[in-house]
Amino acid sequence: MKRRLALAVTILAALYSLIVYGAGTPIQNADATATAAIQQANLAATPRMGTAIAQTTALAPTATMSMPMEGATDGGNTCGNLSEDPNAHDQNGVPLNVWAPGLRVGCGFAGFENGDDPMPAGTHLPQPRPFDFDRAVVANESAFGFKVYYRKGSEGPAGFQGTGGCGDVRVILHQGGSVHGFTTQYHTYQFATDVCDSAGNHHIIDVGGRIDTGCFQPRKDDPQRCGPPDRVTADTLSCDGKTKFLCATVWYGRFQYQIQGGNYNAFSNMGFLVENPITLYDPNCPTCIHLANGDGTTTMLRDNQFAVPASNHPATWWAKFNATTGINEIVPAGTAGAWQMYVDPWFGASGEFKQLEPAYGVDHPHPVAGVKYPN
């Protein structure tokens, strides 16, 4: 099974041939009411990382639940905007729009988890932004569905490894476990990385906005990929315990953002894999949620690729997602729904900087008891 998983994801990566792209001060959020709460996310928790490729098994799905489409929100959220609602805290009193370890319960959700610690010991990356940053772009995003993946430099592929923070990569992606999450093309995304020069100096990229996850495709149709980018999503027919398909969701996304003076948009392209997800897409009932026996607690970042064009750009500026162009565009500082971007001017100063990792990924399991829909 391990070999089958490795072969499957390698084939997916080969099909995904996109061209794709280090801390300074903490990056701000134009909707800053929750910024102070970020500090509560850096809790004393042991980073939970694995280096082995976990086996993926075909799990027999359970019953289908009929659920309404949620519109602008993503799956039964009983709280208002998470930055402001006083009830938007988990069972331990931690705001739901920041990372915390282990099982989280709140806002009508039975129990979910957020993945890797975004600030492990020794990191040079800044604190991440709140999980629900851009109200001016989407009315609200639910508390669940935000997954953190932190890959240390020592876990990188050959030729891209590092120590002491060099080569670290952090991705935060909102997928959501509801029908609306499956069918939404542009999702919240944060990308941060630490690239060291030959003298060992750390150079940071920390950007975020909306990422294009392309077309939606049930996993059963995997051989006929509609992208990339694409949202190949585990479904009842690929997770029935009988077919050759692996029970995993693999989204390949393309994140583009304007950078001053560049002759093309800077970008971060990657694949995000969730093994044995708790929620399956049901082709026979597209508006229903179909629960499986998995828990979706093992994730993988695949094929990390990013680039910054030759440019004489400032270290920080503001960008907001444009739904028409699909690009996170430069806007005046403090624009509602915008993020402050940070790219060390070292990137692009001596010409184009491009890092294109090969087809590669490392599983990070997060065994958490009590995880339920909609993790």
Q: Please report the pLDDT score of residue 64 as a whole number.
A: 41
Q: Please report the pLDDT score of residue 12 as a whole number.
A: 40
Mean pLDDT for 251-275 is 95
Q: State yes or no: pLDDT of 57 exceeds 50.
A: no
What are 273-327's pLDDT values in tens digits? Answer: 998 888 888 888 887 778 887 888 899 999 999 999 999 999 999 999 998 999 9
Residue with tokens 């492990």: 120
DSSP notation for 197-250? -TT--EEEEEEEEEEE--EEEEGGGGGG---SSEEEE-BTTTSSSSSSS-SEEE
Collapsed DSSP state (helix, strand, coil) of residue 328: strand
Q: What is the CA radius of gyration of the chain?
A: 19
The full set of domain ranges for the chain reads 2-365
| Residue 118 or 338, more confident | 118
Q: Please report the pLDDT score of residue 355 as a whole number.
A: 97
The CA-based angle 206-311-26, given to 5 degrees, is: 20
| Residue 134: pLDDT band with limits 50, 70, 90 | low
Query: Cα–Cα distance between 43 and 101 in angstroms, integer?
Result: 8
pTM: 0.81
User: What does pLDDT average to over the chain?
Assistant: 77
Most confident listed range (27-31, 220-224, 343-347):
343-347
Q: Both tokens of residue 347?
A: 């990137």
CA distances to 98, 132, 180, 251 from 226, rounded to whole Å, are 34, 29, 19, 12
Q: Please report the pLDDT score of residue 143 as a whole number.
A: 65
Query: Cα–Cα distance between 48 and 54 in angstroms, integer?
Result: 14
- Say what the alpha-carbon torsion angle 313, 317, 318, 323 is, to the nearest 10 degrees: 10
Q: State yes or no: pLDDT of 31 exceeds 60.
A: no
| Residue 260: pLDDT band with limits 50, 70, 90 | very high
| Residue 268 or 74, more confident | 268
- Least reliable range by pLDDT among 164-168, 215-219, 223-227: 223-227
Q: Please report the pLDDT score of residue 133 as a whole number.
A: 52
Asked if residue 96 lies in contact with residue 90, where contact means CB atoms within 8 angstroms, the answer is yes
| Residue 360 or 372, more confident | 360
Mean pLDDT for 29-48 is 30
Q: State yes or no: pLDDT of 49 exceeds 50.
A: no
Most confident listed range (20-24, 63-67, 330-334):
330-334
Mean pLDDT for 125-146 is 71
- Determine what percent of the chain is predicted with pLDDT higher than 90: 44
Cβ neighbours around 142 below 10 Å, total: 29
Query: Cα–Cα distance between 32 and 97 in angstroms, integer?
Result: 12
Q: Please report the pLDDT score of residue 80 as a whole number.
A: 62
What are 222-236's pLDDT values in tens digits? Answer: 667 888 899 998 888
Q: Please report the pLDDT score of residue 140 as a whole number.
A: 54
| Residue 138: pLDDT band with limits 50, 70, 90 | low
CA distances to 72, 233, 287 from 183, rounded to whole Å, are 12, 10, 10
| Residue 58 or 257, more confident | 257
Q: Please report the pLDDT score of residue 7 as a whole number.
A: 44
Mean pLDDT for 177-205 is 89
What are 312-336's pLDDT values in tens digits? Answer: 999 999 999 998 999 999 999 988 8
| Bridge partners of residue 148, in order along the sequence | 115, 172
Q: Please report the pLDDT score of residue 6 as a whole number.
A: 43
Mean pLDDT for 16-26 is 32
Q: State yes or no: pLDDT of 244 exceeds 70.
A: no
For 129, which DSSP code?
P
- Least reliable range by pLDDT among 105-114, 163-172, 255-264: 105-114
**H helices within the chain, ranges in order?**
2-15, 179-183, 346-349
Q: Both tokens of residue 373?
A: 């829909």
Q: Please report the pLDDT score of residue 264 as a whole number.
A: 96
Q: Please report the pLDDT score of residue 200 as a whole number.
A: 96
Give the total residue count for the chain: 375
Strand spans (E) along the chain? 64-66, 104-106, 109-112, 146-151, 169-174, 186-196, 202-212, 215-218, 230-233, 248-257, 266-275, 279-280, 288-291, 298-308, 316-322, 327-331, 339-343, 353-356, 361-365
